[in-house]
Amino acid sequence: MPVQILMPALSPTMTEGNLAKWLKNEGDAVKSGDIICEIETDKATMEFEAADEGVLGKILVPGGTSGVKVNQIIAVLLLDGEDASALMAASAAAPAPAAAVATVPAAIPSAAPAGHALAGDRVFASPLAKRIARDGNLDLKTVKGSGPHGRIVKADVEAAIASGPVKAVPVTATPAAAPKPVPTPVAASPFEPAFEEVPNTSMRKIIARRLTEAKSTIPHFYLSIDCELDALLKVRAELNGRSDAYKLSVNDFVVRAVALALKKVPAANASWGEDAIKRYTDVDISVAVATPTGLITPIVHHADHKGLAQISNEMKALAVKARDGKLKPEEFQGGGFTISNLGMFGVKDFAAIINPPQGCILAVGAGEQRPVVKAGALAVATVMTVTLSVDHRVVDGAVGAGFLAAFKALIEDPLSMLL
């Protein structure tokens, strides 16, 4: 019986995805572990591996299709000795979910007459036979297959070429791709400015749903504190001057300080559950990264056990993968605490929305020179404002304040982070 290849659920929040492109064609041999297609989830573009061996008999959902439901049949894999006649049985055996039926072809071409590996305009031949025919300019539709169920094999193609004359494969002109239409600004009413509609991606829809849920169901409260950065900036400059193997940013110090502060105040490293609050024993820090399709939070796992250089290099690699849509599920799913840093954009301070089910998110503003009072005298210092958004079901005010106090002490005494 042919194997039905189903649209996988590649993340806990995924209910549908986009089938970006097929990396295997119909008739290609497939081995277990081969990458057969790329799927766009709500967070990233992921490679999908085959679990069985055989021949890709029929692609039911073409590349570039959006809104493919999880568990919808996207292709059929023929096992050894099976041909096109088995495709009808595979299609009828397990119909696609009702919500997705419209995207599945209504009928699959029937098997070819005995002795010819044809099904509609398709030719059933081994990948090697196809390559030899292409190199020899041979039309496979003129070849009689001697393989199982009339499949064309290498020997059939070689015999046809040797018997000559060779019939050339007809070449059809490929029409030039039509230029993409330029959106024309329109106005919905005389009272509304002209606009262009930008379709929502799966990722943008998920972000909208989760943040709306977070803001409307989580009882947020906010705590802010100012941290002086002059000592940190001095240590950072000295460390960056010692080696070319790393380039430390202020954000790397922030990640390290958050990790160590959570070790000192573990009650802040928690999430809400209806039956129990989860207090995490691992310190896994999610760091918000902006991508062309939306916000994603790659994770620095066990951040309390990593030095500044390791955190810095790991964050740079994760940020590149996030922007390229190449993060693996374990690199962005989970985490116990989130950092959102807009300081590099000059934002002085802001309050971030909690990333559920986590209990806290730290919003980091820009470091800027401000007047401060030291020993009764006015002075100038580089000051950074951070704001902790807290789920009051998980973390009380005193716990949040204790975490910020521990964070401030580490940021203002950066040498203590090196111990």
Q: Where in the sequence numbering do the catalytic residues fall?
A: 392
Tokens representing 414 are: 């950066």
Beta strands at 16-22 and 35-40: parallel, antiparallel or unpaired: antiparallel
Distance separating alpha carbons of residues 393 and 230, to the nearest angstrom: 36
H-run or E-run covering 259: helix 250-264
C-alpha Rg value of the chain to the nearest Å: 29
Asked if omega into 165 is within 30° of 0 (cis), the reply is yes
Helices 230-240 & 397-412 angle (0-180, nearest 10) = 50
Q: Report the distance separating Cα 14 and Cα 72, nearest Å.
A: 13
Nearest to 272 by CA among 338, 339, 358, 351: 358
3-state secondary structure of 150: helix
Neighbours of 230 (CB within 10 A): 14
Q: Are 87 and 117 in contact (CB under 8 A)?
A: no
Output the CA–CA distances (angstroms, integers) from residue 178 to 171, 181, 224, in the order listed. 21, 9, 54
| Sheet strands (E) in 176-324 | 220-228, 270-271, 278-279, 285-287, 289-291, 294-296, 299-300
The Cα–Cα gap between 250 and 411 comes to 10
Distance from C-alpha of 207 to C-alpha of 233, rounded to nearest angstrom: 34
> 153: helix, coil or strand?
coil
Give yes or no for a contact between 124 and 27, defined as CB atoms under 8 angstroms apart: yes
* Residue bearing tokens 């393989």: 147
Among candidates 328, 329, 368, which has minimal Cα distance to 346?
Answer: 368
Q: Which long-range contacts (CB under 8 A, 24 or more apart) does 241-244 make?
A: 243/309
